[in-house]
Amino acid sequence: MRLNSPQINLITKACMKASRSLIRDFGEIENLQVSSKGPGDFVTSADKRTEKILLEELQKAHPDYGVITEETGIINKSNTKNRWIIDPIDGTFNFMNGIPQFAISIGYEEDNEIKCGVIFNPIMNELFCAEKGNGAYLNNSRIRVSNKKNIKDALIVTGGPKGSSKIKDKIFSEYINVSNNVSNVRKFGSAALDVAYVACGRFDGYWQRELNYWDIAAGIIILKEAGGYVDFFEEDKNLPLKKNILASNSIIHEELRDLINK
């Protein structure tokens, strides 16, 4: 990896440490799937265990930093100058079902702007990272978004709706519009990895409603530094941690937005 700011080094070290127990926990899932208890409670504790290790590592270096995490919530609320945004396991359902498409996702914000981020899939051993002004990387290689120009040829990824969603009709009609006008649509179940995959050109675009900020905070800087474009639509100012995301290689962005708004 070419990036070596103190923050990236710290996040990477924390991810590596937490991933050792996460890999062990993932190995347990197979046994639990066939047991009568099922993996539900175990996954919750794996999430918490992973988050605890990440927090210990990050807070050892910066006890005063603000933190937004999926499991614990908000820590050091008054510090909005320096803030970690943490999802210990993004793609929890995949994890729970023994599907190796999940990741630790950590973004670092200064004055409400994401400065750097790391997304690490410990099973595939793929570490995506970026810091502002220094490009984006997958392990040791620089990554860039695709240069697909024609949306008809594009491979798009999406996610949701959750079973509990109240806007399923809207989401399905967006899906139909997009599907009718692109080459193919995929659904992989980890928002963090979906954005990272756009950043490295595996997908040409991604949209999803009803996400949480921690799902995609790290992905924002990774995608931007890889030459992509990301924005949020129909934001509710009263719910700053809820996001609807549209991310792309930037070339097809407007057309993809038109399909979603159709």
Residues at the site binding ligand LIP, with contacts judged by CB under 6 A:
70, 87, 89-92, 159-160, 162, 189-191, 211-212, 215
How far apart are CB 102 and ligand LIP at their closest, in Å? 7
How distant is the alpha carbon of residue 111 from its chain centre? 21
User: Do 33 and 39 meet the contact criterion of CB atoms below 8 Å apart?
Assistant: yes
Least distance to ligand LIP, CB of residue 131, Å = 23
Nearer to ligand LIP, 58 or 251 (CB): 58
Listed in sequence order, the DSSP H helices in 148-209 are 168-179, 191-199
Q: How far is the CB of 140 from ligand LIP (least distance, A)?
A: 26
Residue 113 has what DSSP assignment? E
| Residue with smaller CB distance to ligand LIP, 83 or 209 | 209
What is the residue type of 109? E
Taking the least distance from each CB to ligand LIP, the nearer of 3 and 118 is 118
Buried-exposed string 6-23: b where 16+ CB fall within 10 A, e elsewhere: ebbebbbebbeebbeebe
Q: Pick between residue 192 and residue 251 the one whose CB is nearest to ligand LIP.
A: 192
Nearer to ligand LIP, 3 or 208 (CB): 208
Strands (E), the chain: 66-69, 73-75, 82-90, 103-110, 113-121, 126-131, 136-138, 141-143, 155-158, 184-187, 205-212, 229-232, 242-248
Angle at 199 between CA 185 and CA 10, to 5 degrees: 130
The closest alpha carbon to 191, from 152, 154, 217, belongs to 217
CB of 242 to ligand LIP, least distance (A): 10
Closer to ligand LIP by CB, 3 or 228: give it: 228
Residues 6+ apart with CB under 8 A from 180: none
Of residues 182, 173, 180, the one with CA closest to residue 249: 182
In the bound state with ligand LIP, the residue whose beta carbon lies nearer, of 39 and 159, is 159
Q: What is the bridge-based pairing of β-strands 73-75 and 155-158?
A: unpaired
Q: Rounded to the nearest whole angstrom, what is the least distance from the CB of residue 117 to ligand LIP in the complex?
A: 15
- Least separation in angstroms between residue 146's CB and ligand LIP is 21
Q: How far is the CB of 4 from ligand LIP (least distance, A)?
A: 28
